[in-house]
A and B are shown apart, each in its own frame.
Chain A
Amino acid sequence: MIGRTLLAASLVACALPAAAQTLAIVHARTWTMTADAPAEGATILIDGRTIVSVVPGGAVPPGVRTIDATGKLVTPGLVNAASQIGLVEVSSAPDTRDTSDKGPLGASFDVSRALNGNSALVSLARADGMTRGVSFPAASSSIPFAGLAAMVRLRDGADILDRAAVAEFVVIGGTSENRSRAAQWQRLREALGDARQKVAAGKGVEGDLAPLGRVLGGELPLAIMTNRESDVRQAIGLVRDFGVRAVIVGGAEAWRVASELAAAHIMVVVDSQANLPETFDRLGLRQDNAAILARAGVPIAFGMVGGKLEYNYNAGLNLREDAGLAVAAGLPYRAALEALTVNPLGAFGIAGGKLEAGAEADLVIWDGDPLELSTNALAVIVEGRESSLENRQSRLVDRYAPPVPR
């Protein structure tokens, strides 16, 4: 691909062997997420996995591999707060899908052992600027539990596990199988109640419901995939009654409960591409859901919550589209960047998402505004290493449309 080749030539002013553990990015307009505006002409120094400094006009020690990002924008690596990347290859072919299991596992079903960094979906998402994401299990037969989600890190190679068990996912809402949501809430409350009794009695919570012990201790957030206003209110009540941490995933009608969600410190993962009442649970879905929530002080993030066919396949690009559409509907730009970086990490118990001294070096150099779909990522750095932007699509394009020599 000619674009990539030219980029490598123009950006890399001083290339040293890959063994070099230090890297500098200079002249970068940089959203550090530590200030309200981007730092102009910043020098970002990276040593190994870690950012050493971000200083406007900062000097680069001699011999350090340097990327000149003049005229480019730098952001932290983007985080997808709900996807199934690494768990699914061809969604219509069940033998390539590890998102759920029809066996007895419910709350303890842990997707982290199925993660596949060699998936064709991973390299494309990374090339689109996504560096981390929550990969979550699909609904199990142990209603309402889906199981334990993992944080993935889209580094090169097969191992993309960042941290296992970052949230316990439950799915609550209307189904086509004559299962009332009343029973779904009741089962969840009963399970949490039983777990609380065991914890109070000094006994551990064992078996399939073992993760609930960690949920009750506030160590593990409960990620509640739900949409209808009545269910969002039930979720708030559950958080109050059990003192757990929670994230609403979906929250189509969450805007109706914005101030209550803010008071309960519940983050909402929204999908601002979805603006149609696809189900009766989502009648009130609106494109400015994110804007209304953020205005009320609710932390938000973006992810696959509409269950749309194509989303996992473009987990990086769709994330940016979500954020861009939310900004178009009134979400402040900086709030959108927070929703793509610090918010989803923080809600799942991981510090990061900022470009500052001491932070892990996950960042992206863009040829324009990352929320515009006509923008490309020029370089993606994960844990201090510049990743290849090559992916199946780029290889196909290389084969069928070889670059014209210039």
Chain B
Amino acid sequence: MMDSLPPGAILLAGAVLLPLLRGRGQQVALVALPVLSFAHLWMLNPGTSLEINAFGCQLTLVHVDRLSFIWGIVFHIAAVVGALFALHVKDTLQHVSALLYVGSAIAAVFAGDLVTLFVYWELTAISSVFLIWASRNERAYRAGMRYLLVQVGSGVLLLSGIVLHYQATGSVDFRGPFFTSPDILSSFPFGEHALGPVLIFLAFGIKAAFPLLHNWLTDAYPEATPTGTVFLSAFTTKLAIYTLARSFPGVECLIWVGAVMTAFPIFFAVIENDLRRVLAYSLNNQLGFMVVGVGIGTALSLNGTVSHAFAHILYKSLLFMSMGAVLYRTGTVKGSELGGLYKSMPWTTGFCIIGAASISAFPLFSGFVTKSLIVTAVAEEHHIVVFLALLFASAGVFHHSGIKIPFFAFFAHDSGIRCKEAPWNMLLAMGITAALCILIGCFYAPLYDLLPFAKGADQTVVQLPMGSAAAPQTPYTGAHSPYTVDHVIPQFQLLMFSALAFTLLVRNGIYPPELASVNLDTDWAYRRAFPAAIARGRQTVGQLQQAGRLVFQALARQLLGAIRQLHGPTGALARTWSIEAMLTWSAVLLAAYLLLYYLS
């Protein structure tokens, strides 16, 4: 019975029924539905279930393995804390769209074929945009439209890729690493039948916010409601990381794409004034680590990606929750307007610092035990440039997310804002998430036991069966524990010296102050350059049209003048001729004709 219900279905059905409830009933349902869905996930049997045959395709609606299972767990945790955080909101639209969004993201993770994945992929896009529009202002409306266009564009690419892939292989299976057949992998993104996988890769890349495809994220997330951004931060991009990990492990270009992703957004984060946008940039930076892990493609790096996504969903939700609480209480999250809030919101400050310590990978916090798997895997493969990029990004993320966010929101100069502490439900949600961040950091073994990959007998990556503990077969027990002295001390050195850099720069007035401004990013291209180019193009066409019209009018005038000259009242051809002249000319023409006749 349980296996005939796809994970997430409870949430999707609940979303439809939620508008029927009011007040306390709706609040209870909002939290109970993700909890029920979580319980349902635990009862699922491993393997494939719910197979149907549609349009000649074998569709697998549910496929449970270790990779989808761990993703299902963390998505459910994010759903529960997100619902708790949004409990005070009296806006049915937001609750319904959040449940639809979460339900479709969870269902997508368990999709066993590409068509099912596509359906839920699009549903996440369409349902999540309402979390942006729920801000109900012009900026949010416009940002939501841009977001929707990009997301649906990603879906169109995915569908095109699926069709081409089906034509080439006759299969839409999504259960295994389906592009990792050596002939396709070795020549990716070129080679025979590569167009389908390339389009699918690009579709995933848009949602994973690859460099230059990233701007929908930093554009739209900060415009969503204080609670909506918490949901948004957890699901869309991590769903994309999941699909990349399942379908493109070991694709080398991902290493470089990921390395650029880790470093590129932190420059923007340093000069950004909207603190939720700073978090969006650091989200992009953290995705870079996961993409590098997928690209390296070893058991250690892939497990690093999975575990880092797990930890990341929690600490990033926590950070967005703390900024959401600030926005809810003060009406702003601009660094230039905030400061000194630790006096009014001490609990929120504490939770934010825990989130900041986790994203910065401080020992004893979640980011440390997960990111170190990816960084170690990169070092093991001797990717020196990528390693240095990741190290730089690790220092940078501490700099802008670890220090800048708490410093400018809660400390720095006292802005004079005095407000109430966040509501109890927000504090509870932040408290649970903060506790999880510390628990994972201190007691990492249960998380490591859930990790899906191990090194096979022939050094290939294999996925462990469900139910078996990964730890004995994975390479980070014993000496590979993240808490060795030569992991902990260098990490402390990196972080404390980054803090030293921040302190020296701030105290010497070199650190760029928070200014009420926007910074141009790639969205400038489609928000300014393209519309300006189109406007210029229209202007040029208009001018050409005008010039053409003038030339045509002048020519027509000249022609009419000539005709008038010939055929007008005084024109040569309109003149009345005498019979005498006509006869003369007729005789001349006849004579000429006769002459020609005889000559020929």
The reply to whether chain A is a binding partner of chain B is no
